């Protein structure tokens, strides 16, 4: 069984950005994004959720609540 993707991994894939590109889009340090993508749980805090939703809107990508939350077996 494949390991479930974390919220950060789901959002990065949906936005189709590299970690560096995502960091630039969010105006966050590249190391913060890299750590978030590698984190075992990959939970997204409220401030980052807002920034991701704004970035998605600018890029014309639709993010849903399911994209920002852990999958069922992670919860």
Q: Find the CATH number of the domain harbouring 66.
A: 1.10.260
State the pLDDT confidence band at 14, using cuts at 50, 70 and 90.
very high
| Residues whose CB falls within 8 Å of the CB of residue 75, separated by 6 or more in sequence, listed in order | 69
Q: How many domains does the chain have?
A: 1
- Exposed, middle or buried: residue 21 (CB in 10 Å: 0-12, 13-18, 19+)? middle
* Whole-number Å distance between alpha carbons of 3 and 36: 16
CA 49 → CA 18, 43, 52, distances in Å? 18, 10, 5
In this structure, is residue 49 part of a structural domain?
A: yes
Q: Any idea of the CA torsion for 40, 72, 43, 51, to the nearest 10 degrees? A: 140
pTM (two decimals): 0.85
Q: Which domain holds residue 28?
A: 7-74
pLDDT digits (tens, 9 = 90+) for 23-73: 999 999 999 999 999 999 999 999 999 999 999 999 999 999 999 999 876
pLDDT at position 71, please? 83
């Amino acid at each position: 069984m494949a390991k479930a993707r974390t919220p950060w991994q789901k959002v990065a894939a949906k936005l189709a950005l590299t970690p560096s590109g995502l960091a630039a889009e969010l105006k966050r340090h590249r190391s913060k994004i890299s750590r978030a993508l590698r984190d075992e749980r990959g939970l997204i805090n409220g401030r980052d959720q807002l920034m991701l939703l704004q970035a998605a809107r600018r890029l014309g990508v639709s993010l849903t609540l399911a994209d920002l939350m852990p999958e069922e077996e992670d919860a």
